[in-house]
Structure 1
Amino acid sequence: MIPQLVTIRHRRPDGRCRRRFVPVLPVLLLISPLLLLAVPVALVACLVTRVNPVAALWGVGQVLGALPGTRIEIAQGDKTLLVSVR
């Protein structure tokens, strides 16, 4: 299952926290024309590097399937950034 929602939380040095919710499906619909251009480029890249395109597509699907539940937290000094994929 592909991720449905990405939550980005950013804590600024003054202590205030900003939270952004990014729904994945509308973003995919917006960038779908770019994805249509990327598919032939990826296919040519697979053929040039002698990688099986079906295996590459399967690997991308496995990575996307593993994304839900991922949390990435970065802290530096008094600033923090948390990215959560649901």
Structure 2
Amino acid sequence: MMPQLVTVGVKRPDRRPIRIWVPVLPLVLVLSPVLVLAVLGGTVACHVYRIDAVRALGTGWRIVSALPGTRFDVEYSRTAVLVAIR
């Protein structure tokens, strides 16, 4: 299943925390022309490096499908960035 929502939160010490919800489907629809170019570029790269393009696309889809439930936190100095993919 494709991820549906990405939540990004930024915690700063002297300011209010910021939380942004990004719906994935509308973002994919808006960026679909770029996505088509990326797939074509990836196919050409697979051909150059002699990799099976269908298998590479299938592997990429499996990685995207495994993203829901992923969460990672990055802390640098006193600022923290929290990302959750649902």
Q: Structure 2: how far apart are the matches of 1:43 and 1:11? A: 40
Tell me how far 1:77 sits from its aligned partner: 2.4
Q: In structure 2, give the amino acid aligned to 1:57.
A: L
Q: Which runs of 5+ in 2 are unaligned?
A: none
Give percent identity, aligned residues only: 47
Which structure 1 residue ranges, 5 or more long, are not aligned?
none
**1:73 equivalent in alignment to 2:67:** no
Structure 1 match to 2:2: 2
Structure 1 Cα separation of the partners of residues 41 and 76 of structure 2? 37
Listed one character per residue, the Cα deviations across residues 20-43 of structure 1 (whole Å, up to 9, x for unaligned) are: 000000000010011122222111
Tell me the equivalent position of 1:45: 45
Task: Point out 4+ residue stretches in structure 1 off by more than 2 angstroms.
Answer: none
How many residue pairs match? The answer is 86
Match of 2:14 in 1: 14
RMSD value, Cα: 1.0
TM-score by length of structure 1 reads 0.94
- State the distance in 2 between where 1:40 and 1:73 align: 33
